[in-house]
Structure 1
């Protein structure tokens, strides 16, 4: 998980409404609809109202990020849940959340970001949630992925999961990673093509899922490209923005909503 910085999260709360409106415009789905699509359900199959969510600040590793916990809480509040940020941190904060009978507990350190369903012990992992959310966003913006060529930049946790999900949807997936061995290891379990040149691959694909943090040279973005990019910081220059038809990107929202909905789905699916 790429570590967020104070600067990346400071304006998240203020931008939530506009981000949701933009998501609807670009993908035809709001955040709840997208999150449900990402985990294979529809919004009418789950009741999110009144779910109590504890967000626990974690000081391990490089320490807490200013406004991170508050941003997570506000994101889930806007989908109908009832969040609170614990006063305590780490184990003390977890104990506080459990004592308050939180249904879901969010926690993040430098390695893992999870949302634990306290009723049955299962959890949603941010790497899967981010990958699934941005795959759904790309699918929505592209009006489906079946039979289409898609480029994945980055064969780390998010990129690998995204490649696997899109392969299952019937897309023809090409993967580039600066470490070719990472792409080769992915190819052992997922039928993908491996690209050796990132710029050449980028310039030949209209559909791109960017899962690497490096800057992208806009000269190589294919004109009219649809790009789903959970990578942070924002990697596109002015030329890349101009050449692309659509770029879907946010620092936190999509991944958190998918985590919340997936964690809730473990115990809150309706009997339809």
Structure 2
């Protein structure tokens, strides 16, 4: 997991209503709807899940320690999806014990290496790297549908082949999506049979983009075609200010929300 900073997550504590409204305008569903769509859950199924699961967010001090507002932000995301959730008053193992004492069965926790959701009723676990890749592929699919396009019939560009990007490659392959790929380090793409871009100037040839890079401001407006559709969980945001402004209505980017929502949805699966 990319180590977040407090200023990149604290807005979520009071901002989830606005976030969900904007997301729904762009892709047709909010976070709860995205989880239902991704895992083919009905509203009735999701309502039952809301009623029979209780969520604990456990602060973890391992490694570099607790990121300020991280646990509270995770709780705000989960609460915005209609679930009962509490941040545990204690950390680490003692915090997990707090959750058990409160009757929680769904636990969220993260250290420097992994951000995990664990359902103790079903022994189902969800890793944020996979969930983020899956979530943003689903977001781009929905965004394209909103604009009258079918991801199965179009060429996609994936940018970035790091931890999350590698997960995305496997999901796209499983779904039969036609995609090319770019990474600033060509060695990371060795062994992939898909077309590889030789330079970022070639990005302009694509209209539908998944971006899994985590370097801020490198994706200049000049590298992008008109009327692109774009989805990215990158922290910080790849687009420069000009590009971000130009494609505000045609791009979905966040720091934590979509990955967390998909973790919750996956952890609910049997």
Fold agreement, TM-score > 0.5: yes
SS in 2 for 1:265: coil
Aligned 1:70-85 pairs, distance under 5 A: 70-85=72-87
Aligned to 2:227: 224
Aligned length: 261
Aligned to 2:269: 265
CA positional deviation for 1:8: 0.4
For the residues of structure 2 that align with 1:242 and 1:126, how far apart are their CA atoms? 28
Partners of 1:53 and 1:104 within 8 A in 2: yes
CA positional deviation for 1:92: 1.5
Aligned 1:41-120 pairs, distance under 5 A: 41-46=41-46, 47-50=48-51, 51-120=53-122
Structure 2 unaligned residues grouped into runs of 5+: none
Q: Aligned pair in 2 of structure 1 residues 35, 142: CA closer, same or farther (>3 Å)? A: same
Partners of 2:12 and 2:76 within 8 A in 1: no
Aligned to 2:123: 121
**1:195 and 2:201 are equivalent in the alignment:** no
Aligned to 1:34: 34
Q: Normalised by the size of structure 1, how large is the TM-score? A: 0.90
Partners of 1:225 and 1:243 within 8 A in 2: no
Partners of 2:219 and 2:240 within 8 A in 1: yes
Aligned to 2:165: 159
* 1:137-193 deviation digits (Å, cap 9, x = unpaired): 1001111310211111111121122222223333211111222222224x2xxx522
For the residues of structure 2 that align with 1:16 and 1:234, how far apart are their CA atoms? 19
For the residues of structure 1 that align with 2:4 and 2:60, how far apart are their CA atoms? 14
SS in 1 for 2:108: strand
Partners of 1:230 and 1:251 within 8 A in 2: yes
Aligned to 2:185: 179
SS in 2 for 1:219: helix
For the residues of structure 1 that align with 2:60 and 2:129, how far apart are their CA atoms? 18
SS in 1 for 2:209: strand
